[in-house]
Chains A and B, each alone.
Chain A
Amino acid sequence: MSQLNPTRRIDLGGVAFRVLVAILYLFLLAPLLIVVVISFSSNQYISFPPQGFTWHWYEILPTKSLFTSGLQTSLITSSVTTLIVLAVGVPASLALQRFEFPGRSALSAFFLSPLLVPTIVLALGLVLVLGPIGLTNTYAGIVIGHVSITLPYVIRTTLMSLETSDTSSEEAARVLGADGARVFWTVTLPIILPGIIAGAVMAFIVSFDELVIALFVAQSGKPTLPVQLMNYVATSADAAVASLSVVLIIFSALIVVVLERLVGLRRALR
């Protein structure tokens, strides 16, 4: 806009705006940056300024049984959750996008609705239902709790790929005599695979990061990594949690790259 202003010499307003944006970026990234700094600090307890550099907090990570057992629980429950939501979510998306039947729009609203409910409310409901049947503090309890909040991501990304994919090859396959299942496995699935993978990655990371449901459902029996992390932050003052956080940040960054490659980050998160 300023190119049209003939009296412009140095665009002071523009520079000020950029400085403001840079400061706000710093604010946004501050907690992550600070965690990186503190993870290399040789101070025995978390404090400023750091007295020296050390790899100590990374070296002791594998010896922290709280973290390794939490990681194991998280990996098991997130993987099982992802497989389940893929198995039920992809067929459901196919039905919602490729078939015409009564109740279709109500169903798709229902499938996306778990994201509109506060997880703490859902967590309480889950405890009340899972408790009496003995499923609290079990892997199964965590998986059941995570299915509803991850399913919308799989359905959304799969629907998105189905909407944007060209149906003419499917029609061609059908004309040539392939039945519905064959068309799906040989034509539709390869086309929408990037969307399905993106949905699976999102489902995995949402389940892996989820804290509140896991806390309510399995705090004492099968604490996941986020639950262990929270307990550790609340009770300890050393930097082991910082190095673990950095590992998790790098893990997230890798996932960001994968998502960006597959579908574009903005579309995956919406």
Chain B
Amino acid sequence: MTTTVISTLEIDPDGNRGHLERARSRHNRLVAWGLVIPALAALIVSYAYPLVWMIRMSFNIGLGDGLYVETYSLDSYLKSLSDSYYWEVIGNTLFLGVLVAVLCVAVSYPIALFLARTNSKWKSLLVALAIAPLLTSAVVRTFGWIVILGTQGLVNSTLKGWGLIDTPLPLANSFTGVAIGLVEIFMPYAILGMMSGFGRLNTQLEEAASSLGANRAAVFFRITLPLSLPGLLTALLLVFVLTISTFVTPQLLGGGRVHVMATEIYDQTTGLLNWPFAASLSVILLILFGSVVALYQRAARRLGA
């Protein structure tokens, strides 16, 4: 309900209600805009203008070392799309996105299902444990993975201690390591996303099926899984977009050997100072990101979540 009526006790002496109503709504509109304008200004300065300027920059020609020719050209885009190295970077990014999304959703699904179902008195603690890692810095969690996967890390020294390997496995500083780290880092998002999609999954259908003689597998594959597909799909898309735009984990856990779009944008910006080129890579990333986000929002709306 809107509360635009100023006061029901106010009496219009001229009986000119229409005029007064109009004045009131004009006054309200002014107040509303007055309340909104500071936030609008803050976002234009800190967000809209930088994005627009970045897109404009992508049409300049970069000379490196922070120098560029101001023009309207597709030079930067042609450079990134004609060089096989950058195709590889884009390919790596998308492959990492698909791999992490699939694995992350697969390992998050049982937890989400468990949390959606359980009547345990520990439920709220378990939910908090599942999503609390979201509130710890990605640097800290990536550091944890470096400790686990590194040459002298937990996995390698354990395997060595058992005599299973002689030389350490190249888990850190590799694509594998980055994928493992990201799967874990995005699990809370996947769990949250799926749990909100599981709302309509009620247990009565499953109970009916099993009382009619369906075994566990049949109940799962014919009832539980189909009903949870929408939640699974939105979680997949969410983890995909998070992965293709993530920077910290590929940078730290990749050890300079994993080249994805985010690390390339960073190198071009801070190392080579080729701003138009970095901007063109960003626009390509933005387009990829935007199309998947649009898909995600359509899927989420269908879900009614």
Contacts and interface: CB of A to CB of B under 8 A. Distances in A.
B2 interface: yes
A25 B129 contact: yes
A17 interface: yes
Interface residues of A, number: 98
B84 interface: no
Contact of A265 (B110, B131, B154): B131
Given A21-B110, A25-B129, A128-B50, A121 B285 contact: yes
Interface stretch (A46-54, A61-69, A192-200): A46-54
Interface stretch (B13-21, B30-38, B75-83, B225-233): B30-38
A46 B29 CA distance: 61
Interface in A118-161: 118-122, 124-129, 144-145, 147-148, 151, 155
Nearest to B191: A28
Contacts of B269: 124, 127, 216
Nearest to B29: A101
A252 B136 CA distance: 6
Nearest to A13: B216
A4 B141 contact: no
A34 B251 CA distance: 21
A180 interface: yes
Interface in A1-44: 1-2, 4-5, 13, 17-18, 20-21, 24-25, 27-35, 38
B54 A121 contact: yes
A84 interface: yes
Nearest to A100: B2
Interface string B277-298: 0110010011001100100000
B286 A25 contact: no
A27 B129 CA distance: 12
B35 A151 contact: no
A46 B38 contact: no
A116 interface: yes
Nearest to A84: B42
B11 interface: no
A248 interface: yes
Contacts of A245: 136-137, 140, 143-144
A205 B195 CA distance: 24
A249 B140 contact: yes
Interface in B194-251: 195-196, 203, 206-207, 210-211, 216, 219, 245, 247-248, 251
Interface in A226-263: 226, 229-230, 233-234, 241-242, 245, 248-249, 252-253, 255-256, 260
A89 interface: yes
Given A24-B107, A92-B36, A125 B252 contact: no
B7 A25 contact: no
A48 B158 contact: yes
A243 to B, nearest CB: 11
Of B129, B147, B188, B248, the most chain A CB neighbours within 10 A belong to B147
A1 B113 CA distance: 14
Nearest to B203: A1
B36 A107 contact: yes
Given A46-B152, A127-B269, A233-B142, A88 B47 contact: no
Of B144, B150, B265, the most chain A CB neighbours within 10 A belong to B144
Interface in B116-165: 124, 127-148, 150, 152-154, 157-158, 161
A122 B51 contact: yes
A29 B129 contact: yes
A120 B47 contact: no
A84 B127 CA distance: 32
9 contacts: A1-B207, A32-B141, A95-B31, A124-B54, A124-B278, A125-B50, A129-B53, A155-B39, A219-B270
Interface of B: 1-4, 6-9, 28-29, 31-33, 35-36, 38-43, 45-47, 49-51, 53-54, 57, 107-108, 110-111, 114, 124, 127-148, 150, 152-154, 157-158, 161, 181, 184, 187-188, 192, 195-196, 203, 206-207, 210-211, 216, 219, 245, 247-248, 251-252, 262, 265-266, 269-270, 275, 278-279, 282, 285-286, 289-290, 293
* Top 4 closest pairs, chain A to chain B, by CB: A31-B144, A125-B50, A118-B245, A148-B47
